[in-house]
Structure 1
């Protein structure tokens, strides 16, 4: 396994590396102290996981995350001192798989990583899903509905994949939260609602009176034909 740490504080890189070596003695560790070099390493080295700080000397970590999601679906964990809810929500909306606030606990970090690595990987067999008027190409992040082609973000594609896979059954908030962040957290549920709001704007003629993505209050979402 190969893990990339994008962090400019050498002591924190050492602490993360020490924890990772406890969990995975044979892990290959890579590090970058700047956002630009981190993006190059993601593209060239293709790590299995990225741990990303938000406060980098050359660019904001959220920009690194946004740029990385243009070309890869590698799991990315945000590890930062920034604890504002707006940062958490924005990071999750941009495609972060986890958000951990410093100072971090080593065993918790390892547990979060294990949780991410345990998540089922969508294979080519179930990457193309059809139901009713919908056809989803998961890897290309394209949704076809009637004569319309919709470009999705990474998380929008994940949400639609779950909804289509179980259509017309309800997909719960907790299940979507687990899929996106590895746990059931209130801020993640709020983020999911934002993603669904954006999906409705892309799919529905009237997003305030949806006919495709339906909500059961307090439970979750389901698709309707």
Structure 2
């Protein structure tokens, strides 16, 4: 599922984009200012950023410059500015596309599809070791103390989501959305039940987990000693 970060100080625009993107099965998070956007990117890398230039704290150009200083995340500037110089500056700084407001939602969706298709790369193979545990995420195989452990397909989706974002925090709603899809963001009891089963299979002491860490009321993170 493609994760889109919408950065715009206009509440109506954030709401319109969120509704339209979510109805088309995009995972969406919004930010009303530049600093919030940069914080979200640090915690959870989006697949594409829709960036307004007229923000109340850091302007969009400053946000774009900071993004390009630390990542290659695709950025589509969505702005009411129509001067050619604004467009040229944004593209020179590394924006992947520039859409002028007002725009057709279908056009914006097409630009998102093109941008994410152009920048998409296959998920890399991932093998992680920590203590007696070894996870081959690409092959969906797990061992504890050299004994192979069976995880269900749903348990693997949870493990893979956390392992690929390690050691960053994954919010409960994001994990539910990634594993079960839209409409399950409030079913936090699902996570408690399945994480308990995963811990029984992989943790040395499930009552004191060292791999699958709970941040109470917020989310979960996967902590491993080192990749293989």
TM-score (norm 2): 0.51
Structure 1 residue aligned with 2:7: 6
Structure-2 separation of matches of 1:122 and 1:84: 34
DSSP 3-state at the match of 1:70: helix
Structure-2 separation of matches of 1:101 and 1:37: 23
Q: Is the 8 A contact 1:4 1:31 kept in 2?
A: yes
Structure-2 separation of matches of 1:31 and 1:120: 21
Structure-2 separation of matches of 1:19 and 1:97: 21
Structure-1 separation of matches of 2:99 and 2:27: 22
1:17-38 superposed Cα distances (whole Å, 9 cap, x missing partner) = 122124x32x221111111111
Corresponding position: 1:63 with 2:62: yes
Corresponding position: 1:50 with 2:49: yes
Structure 2 residue aligned with 1:40: 39
DSSP 3-state at the match of 1:4: strand
1:148-178 superposed Cα distances (whole Å, 9 cap, x missing partner) = xxxxxxxxxxxxxxxxxxxxxxxxxxxxxxx
Structure-2 separation of matches of 1:58 and 1:116: 27
Structure-2 separation of matches of 1:82 and 1:100: 10
Q: Is the 8 A contact 2:49 2:74 kept in 1?
A: yes
DSSP 3-state at the match of 1:82: coil
Q: Is the 8 A contact 1:19 1:107 kept in 2?
A: no
Deviation at 1:122, TM superposition (A): 6.4
DSSP 3-state at the match of 1:58: coil
Structure 2 residue aligned with 1:90: 89
Structure-1 separation of matches of 2:8 and 2:111: 18
Structure-2 separation of matches of 1:68 and 1:62: 10
Corresponding position: 1:17 with 2:22: no
Which stretches of structure 1, 4 residues or more, deviate above 6 A after TM superposition?
A: none
TM-score (norm 1): 0.52
DSSP 3-state at the match of 1:95: coil
Aligned length: 123
DSSP 3-state at the match of 1:5: strand
Structure 2 residue aligned with 1:164: none
Structure 1 residue aligned with 2:161: none
Q: Is the 8 A contact 2:74 2:119 kept in 1?
A: no
Structure 1 unaligned spans of 5+: 124-225
Deviation at 1:121, TM superposition (A): 4.3
Structure-2 separation of matches of 1:48 and 1:115: 12
